Amino acid sequence: MDQRAILFITVSAIVFFGLLGAVSAGIWLHMRRKYISFAEETCRSIDAVLNGRSAEELDMDEDTLLSKVQMKLKRLEEITAAAARKSEAREQEVQEIISDLSHQLKTPVANIIMYCDTAMNPVITEEERAKCMAVLKNQVGKLDFLVQAMIRMSRLEQNIISLHPDTVPLRNLLDRALQSIRGKAAEKKISLEILCDEDVILLCDEKWTAEALFNVLDNAIKYSPFGSRVAVRCERLEIYTKIEIKDEGIGISPEHAADVCKRFFREEKAAKTEGVGIGLYLTREILEKENGYLKISPRERAGTAVSVYLLNAEEFMNASK
């Protein structure tokens, strides 16, 4: 009796553990197979991405783990591709700058050579020579202006000078920008009207932002008639401060509002005024680098209004506390 009971218990225990073992082995095998197939699928997805067939082969819209992984792979592919395209575009841009530059430099250099030759000709009168010299001086000035502009631009382009946004009182910015513009304004008897609460503190790079503002102000003065008015108004918004510069000049045609920020773009009607067309381009680059932005409101015949938006320092500081 006892022995039988022991036997029975032993047998059933063996059977039980045997079954348990079989079941766990089954589960283990099943999980292993699933695991391997998931890994294989993932590898296949990676292959699909590598072979550039991700769009056809990946299924990113299912509520499964694999689909989620595939979706992330696809996004990775897109971001990498975007970065590659960006650097390609950048290369292209550098090429274009070089060709633009040589084109811009060609005219003054050709003029200088020509007038130099004429000035060196011994048979011309003193009066003619003086005229040549005047032209030469003018052309050299143009060359100097171009070279200066290009140095600034290339430094910014190549990110050699990275912007260092810091807390800057609006007062300092305006002082810097206005200081260099007052002389030009006085020359054309243009009155500068400034309506700003100068206690605002902004988050930007003082030197380059002053340059950006200067470019806008310089345009306002350059393209405005004698004795007109340029108004600078600041308005503090919650996140940005808007600095609006309004003139009574020749204005921008609405169809060109888009183009004036492009490098070397100049409207036909601006041909009379000296310039190469990089002021607004630089301004926009500088502002974008410090998370600000630029808005141009074309108002032909009524002048131009350009708004510069800069981040308020306090709002940002509070937010990142």
- Residues near other proteins (CB under 8 A) are 55, 60-63, 67-68, 71, 74-75, 78-79, 81-82, 85, 235, 237-240, 242, 255, 257-261, 284, 288, 291-297, 309, 315-316, 318-321
Min. distance of Cβ 196 from other proteins in angstroms? 16
β-pair partners for 306: 245, 296
Min. distance of Cβ 41 from other proteins in angstroms? 18
108 or 298: whose CB is closer to other proteins?
298
Q: Are 221 and 230 in contact (CB under 8 A)?
A: yes
**Which residue matches tokens 């100097």?**
144
188 or 236: whose CB is closer to other proteins?
236
190 or 213: whose CB is closer to other proteins?
213
Give the separation between CA 53 and CA 225, rounded to whole angstroms.
61
249 or 292: whose CB is closer to other proteins?
292
Q: Are 152 and 282 in contact (CB under 8 A)?
A: yes
Min. distance of Cβ 275 from other proteins in angstroms? 18
Give the separation between CA 191 and CA 229, rounded to whole angstroms.
5
Phi-psi region of 291 (alpha: psi -120 to 50; beta: other; left: phi over 0): left
Q: Are 300 and 253 in contact (CB under 8 A)?
A: yes
Min. distance of Cβ 295 from other proteins in angstroms? 5
Min. distance of Cβ 321 from other proteins in angstroms? 7
214 or 281: whose CB is closer to other proteins?
281
- Taking alpha carbons only, the member of 319, 313, 318, 317 closest to residue 205 is 313
